Structure 1
Amino acid sequence: MPKLSDDELLNALGVEQEIAKKSSYSPREERIITGFEEIQRFVERYGRTPQQGEDSDVFERLFAVRLGRILEQEECQVLLASLDYQGILNKAVIDHVDPLKSLDDDDLLAELVGNAGHSSITELRHVRSHVEIQAAEEIAKREKCEDFDRFRSLFELTEREINSGIRQTRPFSNDASVNEGNFFILGGQLVYVAEKGDEFKAPNGHPDARLRVIYSNGTESNLLLRSLQRALYKDEAGRRLTEPDLGPLFSETLDEDDVESGTIYVLRSMSDHPFVAEHRKLIHKIGVTGGKVETRIANAAHAATYLLADVEVIASYKLAGINRTKLESIFHRIFAPAQLDLTIHDRFGRPVRPKEWFLVPLHVIDEAVCRIRDGSITNVVYDPKTACLVSIAQ
């Protein structure tokens, strides 16, 4: 049998040959087209062209910059005319951006693709960059937080602080920093930065760090700082939570939620629950009232918040001109690490997790009240390991 050539063998097998077509675009044109395709995807998603408004996120502003530069250069419009199936080049209205006038051709190309240095003709189109894909995967990759009980009370406290106005929400773009202890809202969930590793330089030269991030749904992820930043930028509802503004506890003028003469009270439960009985002298409920403590606890045995048992008043402290909400938030913040994690069933058989009960010695509560009086209370937090109030960094 005569030896067949490669072409003859393919013909014998019925395989059609296709000559690989080389791109007719130069590397420069490829980069311009790639930048324009990202703008097209934005228009498909939002039904409008990107704008430079103050409410626009960083990505929309970048797309607006690209489109503005395209409209300023006739050669770009000629190149993209056949690809513009949405008519973007005809209907776009872009805010004028003076600083871009100083860009040279290389800077312009970097703006058009959003990534300087990617000039290879083999760069794939319609495919996100490796950095974008990696960031999205890191955000999506979550695992169950095995020690979520450590953070549960902190999330609950933060939600109360948001509802009471002690914490405010701010657009992330106003402050893009990320530090240990920060709270954010991402994808409709509270996000807490529990740990931040040592900083290092990313391939693009920007500082980065590995984070341990806890989510309010009981999951966590180990992701890069810049990945979290990108996710917050892209989320239109992404927000930063401000630090608690506890304000003055005592003032000459009283707000609506203040009381002229108030009482901080400390209760001890008479419950026969095994755990409560074992730690009775350590488990305390701390509250604030503008009325009589006795009236407040009259029906304790029928209320889940009092562990469905009678209570004993073991300490009370009189104060004047107190902002009740802020004062209770201070107590909750200080003793959050020692909040009692106990679930009981109310008289209807429904599970209830009472709040405001803490595993704290009475002498530590005494010290906290003294610190309230001298104004040093906001500088400390309770350390369960040493059973002491310890200073925190300001």
Structure 2
Amino acid sequence: MAKNTKLTDEDEELLAELGIEVEVTKAGQYTSREERIIAGFEDIQKFVEEQGRLPEHGEDKAIFERLYAVRLDQIRKQEECKNLLKDFDHQNLLDGSYKPATDVSDDIDDAELLAQLGVEADDESSITNLKHVKTRADKRAAEEIANRTPCVDFEEFRVSFESVKKDIDTGFRKSIRFRKDAGFTKTTLKKGQFLIIGGQISYIAEVGETIKAPNGEDDARLRVIYANRTESNILLRSLIRAMYKDETSRFISDLTLGPLFSGENSDDDQESGTIYILRSLSDHSTVKENRDIVLKIGVTGGDVKKRLTNAKNDPTFLMADVEVIATYKLANINRTKLESIIHKFLSSAKLEIEIKDRFGKLVKAREWFLAPVFIIDEMVEKIKEGTIGDYYYDVALAKIQKY
């Protein structure tokens, strides 16, 4: 069994001359409370090392930063804590004399300055030609993007994310590359906007009060929700900066109706068209019980009455006569695209009814919806205004809601 041998003064001097540091440890040196204090102080030191500054108070700061700021204040007030931690305080945090790493003396040479900045000097290039140096603002932007927390109310946004993804897949929305040549300060973001950053579809759910950035530009704290069920509380300028640095970042356009009501013609355009709303006179049990709100909605470029001539023999019309409830005349429409938008908007109210055709075969009539007429009126108005992409139909409340 090995013996613990105490080093003599001569032994320590000899080891020192050899460049070997001797660290004497004591078993059970710290109490549990002291260990907790030390561990808490080390968390503060790590924050200072990573952020290059002291933790600060303020509602706009992350919860852990605010915690560290309070903890440091309490440690500084207690002599017991200061005495315990003084040998650990290599950053001079206890006496308030801490200086950020960027506060260097005037007589520091260029090579040492580059070393402190984490930049390797290139002998073949000018000492002023710094490459790959991240500013503190760039680092902070990257940290804020990475500092995401779980979004506890993500279910409120889930439908919107699914809808936007489907809109991109079907071409109703476009993803637009971030234009760096537009200039950083000219980029604007707004509440309700969808983006792609870091490969994730992102949504600006909230925009806080306007504040002034250090450079004098307007700034604001944002609540950004991400498709992977996380969120971040990021500054507007930090988000723009992160998009600027991300080669894959993109804007997502609002829901576009393309040439539906434009003056431009395409092969599928009609000189005029009609949205029609029908009520079935079928004896089908589902229809009879909900006759006032079981409606068929379609678009035709021809005469509506001619379209319905053979309704009682057509499974599309539930093998029964129908009643025209309302029509909406539109000019220069892309009929196929318009009908797709209408059916997509009312998809949550879609009703599939099985009925036998004239040969006795069961078929499904798919273009019927549970929606009162006033909802259709409101929907058509929003289509005409070009704002339909900002809304969805809440079938449970029978109400058109804004995203």
Between the aligned partners of 2:114 and 2:199, the Cα distance in structure 1 is 35
Q: Which has the larger radius of gyration?
A: 2
The answer on whether the counterparts of 1:31 and 1:112 sit within 8 Å (CA) in structure 2 is no
1:193 aligned residue: 204
The answer on whether the counterparts of 2:295 and 2:369 sit within 8 Å (CA) in structure 1 is yes
The answer on whether the counterparts of 2:161 and 2:201 sit within 8 Å (CA) in structure 1 is no
Structure 1 residues 278 and 183: CA distance shift in structure 2, 3 A: farther
Specify which structure has the bigger relative contact order, considering alpha-carbon pairs within 8 angstroms and separated by 6 or more residues.
1
Between the aligned partners of 2:6 and 2:381, the Cα distance in structure 1 is 103
Between the aligned partners of 2:366 and 2:10, the Cα distance in structure 1 is 79
2:147 aligned residue: 138
| 1:180 alignment partner, SS class | coil
Post-superposition CA distance 1:51-92 (Å, at most 9, x none): xxxxxxxxxxxxxxxxxxxxxxxxxxxx532xxxxxxx57x9
1:17 aligned residue: 21
The answer on whether the counterparts of 2:351 and 2:369 sit within 8 Å (CA) in structure 1 is no
Task: Give the count of matched residue pairs.
Answer: 289
Give the superposition deviation at 1:182.
1.4
1:155 aligned residue: 164
The one-letter amino acid of 1:213's match is: V
Structure 1 residue 230 and structure 2 residue 312: aligned?
no
Give the superposition deviation at 1:180.
0.6
The answer on whether the counterparts of 1:32 and 1:112 sit within 8 Å (CA) in structure 2 is no
The one-letter amino acid of 1:221's match is: E
Give the superposition deviation at 1:181.
1.7
Post-superposition CA distance 1:329-352 (Å, at most 9, x none): 77579xx5x751779899xxxxxx
Aligned with residue 12 of structure 2, among 2, 8, 14: 8
TM-score by length of 2: 0.49
1:259 aligned residue: 270
TM-score by length of 1: 0.50
Of stretches 228-237 and 252-261 in structure 1, the one that deviates more from structure 2 is 252-261
Between the aligned partners of 1:6 and 1:273, the Cα distance in structure 2 is 104
2:250 aligned residue: 239
Between the aligned partners of 2:118 and 2:198, the Cα distance in structure 1 is 28
The one-letter amino acid of 2:348's match is: L
The answer on whether the counterparts of 1:135 and 1:230 sit within 8 Å (CA) in structure 2 is no
| 1:177 alignment partner, SS class | coil
2:108 aligned residue: 26
User: What pairs up with 1:1-394 in 2 under 5 angstroms?
Assistant: 4-5=8-9, 8=12, 11=15, 16-17=20-21, 26=108, 28-33=110-115, 37=119, 79-81=121-123, 89=124, 113-115=133-135, 129=139, 131-132=140-141, 134-138=143-147, 141-143=149-151, 145-152=154-161, 154-155=163-164, 158-159=167-168, 163-164=171-172, 167=174, 169-173=176-180, 174=182, 176-201=187-212, 207-216=218-227, 219-224=229-234, 225-244=236-255, 246=257, 249-250=260-261, 254-266=265-277, 281-282=292-293, 284=295, 286-290=297-301, 298-300=314-316, 315-317=325-327, 318-324=329-335, 327-328=338-339, 331=342, 336=345, 340=348, 360-366=371-377, 368-369=379-380, 376=385, 378=387
Between the aligned partners of 1:359 and 1:2, the Cα distance in structure 2 is 89
Between the aligned partners of 2:226 and 2:288, the Cα distance in structure 1 is 34
Is there any run of 5+ residues in structure 2 with no aligned partner, and where? Answer: 23-103, 355-364
RMSD of aligned C-alpha atoms? 5.7
